[in-house]
Amino acid sequence: MPACALLIDFGSTYTKLRAIDLDARRILGSGQGPSTVASDIMVGMKAALTDLEKRIGRLPQFKYRLASSSAAGGLRMVTVGLVRELTAEAARRAALGAGARLVGTFAYRLTRGDIEQIVALAPDILLLAGGTDGGDSAVILHNAAALGRSALACPVVLAGNRSAADEAALLLGAREVISCENVMPEFNVLSIEAARAAIRKVFIDRIVHAKGIDRAQAEFDQVLMPTPAAVLEGVRLLADGCAGVSGLGPLLLVDPGGATTDVHSVAGGEPSVAGVIPQGLPEPRVKRTVEGDLGMRHNAAAVVEAAGLARIAADACLAPARARVLLDRIARDVDSLPRSAEEAALDQALVRASVKFAVARHCGSVETVFTATGPVTVQHGKDLSGVGTVIGTGGALVHSRDARAVMEMALADSAEPLSLRPKQPRLLLDREYLLYACGLLGAVEPQAALELALAHLEPVDTETPHAKALGA
Amino acid sequence: MSAKQKVLVTGVIGSDTHIVGNRILSMALEAAGYKVIALGALTPAGDFIKAAVETAADAILVSSLYGQGELDCRGFRDLCIEAGLDDILLYLGGNLVVGKQAWPEVEQRFLDMGFDRAAPPGTKIETVIAWLACDLAARDQRPHPLKA
């Protein structure tokens, strides 16, 4: 009997299972059930297990049963910082890196209106930052006091000026406060790992229970992290490798979903051209961005707004009026899947636009500044032009008849020379939606997780003849 | 309050890449016991202020070497006031204007813009350190009306 692992994703729509043969590094099978967190999580879990059993026969004794969750609205977070581009931005990045779904970001002194808004948002966790260590403490203390007096019930992760931390924790009152290292201990130094770890700990200790996921406890060992964090861990493992197995090196992953498009990158992002001056907040090597306005279903209208109806229609070879009719149909029924050729063409145009904008926003850009001594090039964000691998996942991309045409939208474009998108990466498809599973499995058996991912990512790039060398 | 290490923000404003003097100044100020937040070359006015807000800086020292100082620094004090830094000490130094102009006039122009000190080319680092000691001590004597 081989050692097996069961990886569970309690998603927002589906409960997904992947059963893995750890010794052979292969997928035994997948199972899927509805997401039933709102009522009784066990209903969906049992349906998924039954589905899995139908596919692979009697279920083995699993050595590991690890879960991630994005159910019940995901890990809903609000972040608060001081200056919008500095500690507020650092807090935002920490939350996104922890796999959160950001429902609100605030900067400077919280007003009464802000507090009312935060209470109404009812986040799962609030991340409070502000001030460098030894820097400003007035604003974080003001904000801690305002939150302390409010009806906000959720735990607060406190990651601001350490000189103000004790007082801020007191002002926050009776609610649970987890203090950790400042997200910006020194000016323009980003330090988000401690906050990420603190958020994850609160997630495991509190949120899993609060959302009722632990009612399925008999069927799993542990919920390790929010699903987006599991994907990020999978991507990190795939890029960096582990002891004994080398990874793919710098890479980018794009995941167009129904409501948002996520982009993850693992790369330093330093300028690739000599003489270019980086500006702004340093970028995290492992970075996740979420485009809340780019989604195939819930945000199809927003994608069209960003790209323009004419362009979407032209890309789908549809008359604009016809595209409008089909878009209205999507808006009325966001669970619909494309059936006709026209609908598939529209979906292809939507996913191409989503990938294009999401990757462009994730990647940095350069601009030329004219100085007295001549032109100087400055870079904002990450230079990902040299990234060696781009991975695509997500239903709309995986089910596309021409995945290559979608993934090409992630690449550098000579029409937009200032955008630092990947130039000549190999293109891979995560067809099995395996990266969350690898992220979870990586926590216990990194080598098996990595080799599993390497064996199952499918080359899209037909121009690379030695795609099989991937597994080497 | 006086026990706290004083924080200074330094940088070269505008589209100006002349970093060497500013870097030497920053190092000397650090050696003199200050915590220096060095923003380097090509720094927009707004970035000085954002850095000062986040680090609760006591002073901002702006360098300008390429003759555009007057344009780049216009409204600098107003930006500070807008950001709640009403009382912050503002210094400016370098080749502040183009052409031959009498220093007292130039100095007055920048003092009128809200800078507390303006340093002509050739100003010694020791002079700047003495100014800082004097001005910061004077500020410590006063009660802070706005710092909560």
CATH at residue A28: 3.30.420.40
Query: Does ipTM come in above 0.95?
Result: no
The first and second tokens of residue B119, run together, are 């340093």
Token pair, residue A70, equals 């994005």
Specify whether A24 is located in the same domain as A113: no
**A279 and A428 inside one domain:** yes
pTM listed for this prediction: 0.88
> How close B47 comes to chain A (CA, Å)?
9
Do A387 and A263 share a structural domain? Answer: yes
Q: Kindly state whether residues A127 and A170 are assigned to the same domain.
A: yes
CA–CA min distance A375, chain B (Å):
10
Strand order from edge to edge, sheet including A374-380: A277-279, A374-380, A365-371
Q: Which two tokens stand for residue B147?
A: 């710092």
Which of A151, A185, A206 is the C-terminal boundary of a domain? Answer: A206
Instruction: Select the residue from A186, A187, A191, A366 to test the B interface by mutation, using most B Cβ atoms within 10 A.
Output: A187
Residue in A86, A136, A371 closest to B15 by CB: A371
DSSP A99-125: T-EEEEEE-SSPPHHHHHHHHHH--SE
The whole domain housing B137 covers 7-141
Tell me how many domains chain A contains: 3
Please give the interface size between A and B, counted as residue pairs whose CB atoms are below 8 Å apart: 64
Q: Is B124 on the interface with A (CB under 8 A)?
A: no
Are residues A154 and A169 part of one domain? yes
In a domain, B105, yes or no: yes
Domain-located, residue A390: yes
User: Is there a domain that residue B146 lies in?
Assistant: no
In angstroms, the separation between the Cα of residue A81 and the nearest Cα of chain B is 10
In angstroms, the CA A88 to CA A81 distance is 4
In a domain, B15, yes or no: yes
Tell me, yes or no, whether A272 and A371 share the same domain. Answer: yes
The verdict on a CB contact (< 8 Å) between A135 and B17 is no
Q: What pLDDT does residue A361 have?
A: 97
Q: How many domains does the structure of chain B reveal?
A: 1
For residue A113, being part of any structural domain is answered with: yes
Residue A309 within a domain: no
State the residue range of the domain holding A155: 76-206
A138 touches chain B (CB under 8 A): yes
Under 8 Å between Cβ of A21 and A447: no
Residues in chain B with CB shorter than 8 Å from the CB of A187 are 37, 51, 54-55
Structural domain includes residue A98: yes
Strand duo A389-392 + A251-256: pairing: parallel
Q: Answer whether residue B147 is part of any domain.
A: no
Within a domain: A452: yes
- CA angle, A331 then A334 then A340, to 5°: 85
pLDDT value at B132 more than 90: yes
Among the three residues A72, A104, A119, which one is the final residue of a domain in this structure?
A72
Determine, yes or no, domain membership for A66. Answer: yes
Give B68's contacts in chain A (Cβ within 8 Å).
Answer: 372
Q: What is the pLDDT of residue A471?
A: 41
Please give the pLDDT value at position B148.
42
CATH number for the domain harbouring residue B36: 3.40.50.280
- Residues A108 and A186 reside in one and the same domain: yes
Q: Say yes or no: A53 and A106 in one domain.
A: no
Task: Give the span between the Cα atoms of B7 and B115, in whole angstroms.
Answer: 17
B114 near A CB under 8 A: no
- DSSP code string of A392-451: E-SHHHHT-TTHHHHHGGGS--TT-TTB---SS-EEEE-TT--HHHHHHHTTT-HHHHHH
d(CA A267, CA A253): 11
Instruction: Identify residue A123 by its one-letter amino acid code.
Output: P
- CA dist., res. A412 & res. A57, Å (int): 46
Q: Which residue of A has its CA nearest to B8?
A: A135
B56 and A373 within 8 Å at the Cβ level: the answer is no
Is A14 a member of any domain? yes
- Blockwise average pLDDT, block size 10, chain A, 472 residues: 92 91 95 89 94 95 94 91 94 95 95 97 97 93 97 96 96 94 93 95 90 88 93 97 95 93 96 89 94 90 94 96 94 88 95 97 92 84 97 91 94 95 96 93 96 94 48 39
Nearest neighbour of A138 by CB, restricted to B15, B66, B147? B147
Residue in B with minimal Cα distance to A188: B51
Active site residues of B: 16, 18
Q: Is residue A9 part of a domain?
A: yes
Indicate whether A47 and A80 sit together in one domain: no
Q: Is residue B1 part of a domain?
A: no
- Residue B43, domain member (yes or no): yes
Which residues from A are below 8 Å from B56, CB to CB?
Answer: 131, 134-138
List % helix, strand, coil for chain B (3-state, nearest 5).
40, 20, 40
Angle between helices A300-307 and A320-332 (to 10 degrees): 150
A34 and A102 share a domain?
Answer: no
- If asked whether residues A405 and A271 sit together in one domain, one would say yes
Q: Is B148 within the bounds of a domain?
A: no
Burial of A268 (0-12, 13-18, 19+ CB in 10 A): middle
Task: Tell me the chain B residues in contact with residue A138 when contact means C-beta distances shorter than 8 Å.
Answer: 56, 147-148
A256 & A385 share domain: yes
**Confidence at residue B82, expressed as pLDDT on a 0 to 100 scale:** 81
Q: Has residue B118 got a pLDDT over 70?
A: yes
**Residue B140 pLDDT > 90, yes or no?**
no
User: DSSP letters along A298-366, please?
Assistant: TTHHHHHHHH-HHHHHHHTT--HHHHHHHHHHHHH-TT----SHHHHHHHHHHHHHHHHHHHHHHB-EE
